[in-house]
Structure 1
Amino acid sequence: MKVMSTEEIVNLLDANEDLYIIDVREDEEVAEGMIPGAVHIPLGQIAERADELDATKPYILVCRAGRRSESACGILEEKGFDVTNLEGGMLAYDGELEFK
């Protein structure tokens, strides 16, 4: 499984790279702020909502600390997706936040 540091994702965001980020945290966690442009799909819904995703795009998965997003990466990898886990999750992320 590929991993990315929070420093790497902040640099990519600062460079205006097209990123496909999925936040697998629960609603109350997401209310505290998300990485700009992220799509919210709670971990419990990843398997059944995988058909909403484009299998030709690389996805970066994020949660609070990196464990749930690691599980989500495993689920999507089994379905043939190109996924990367954000190491340390939102606890390690110190970039901009978006509130939805």
Structure 2
Amino acid sequence: MKQITAKEVEQRLDKGEELNIIDVREVAEVKTGKIPTAVNIPLGLVEFKMPDLDKKLPYIIVCRSGGRSSQATLFLESYGFDVTNMEGGMLAWEGELEF
């Protein structure tokens, strides 16, 4: 499983890179703030939202601490998606938040 640090994600966003970030936390958790541009798909819905995802695009998967995003990353990887888990999740995020 590929991993990326929260700092690396922040630096790439700061450089203006367009990243495809999927936040797999529950809706109530996301209301406390998410990474700008991240799309919320709660872990339990990832399987059902797979048809909406493009296998040609790389995705960064995020959750609160890295556990649920690891599950989602392994799951999506098994279906041929190019996915990377953000280590430490939102607990490691020091960048801007979007509410």
- Could you say which TM-score interval applies, normalised by the shorter chain? over 0.9
- After TM superposition, give the deviation of residue 48 of structure 1 in Å: 1.3
Distance 1:48 1:77 in 2: 15
Task: Tell me the number of residue pairs that the alignment of Structure 1 and Structure 2 aligns.
Answer: 99
Superposition pairs of residues 17-96 of structure 1, within 5 angstroms: 17-96=17-96
- Measure how far apart 1:89 and its partner are: 0.2
Unmatched 5+ residue regions in structure 1? none
Deviations 1:33-72 (A, max 9, x none): 0000000000000011111111100000000000000000
Q: TM-score normalised to the size of structure 2? A: 0.98
Secondary structure in 1 aligned to 2:21? Answer: strand
Supply the distance in 2 between the matched residues of 1:87 and 1:26 (Cα, whole angstroms): 18
2:13: which partner in 1?
A: 13
Distance 1:98 1:53 in 2: 22
Structure 1 segments of 4+ aligned residues over 2 angstroms from their partners: none
Percent same amino acid among aligned pairs? Answer: 56
Name the amino acid aligned to 1:25. R
Q: What root-mean-square deviation, in Å, do the aligned CA atoms of Structure 1 and Structure 2 show?
A: 0.5
Letter in 1 for 2:13: L
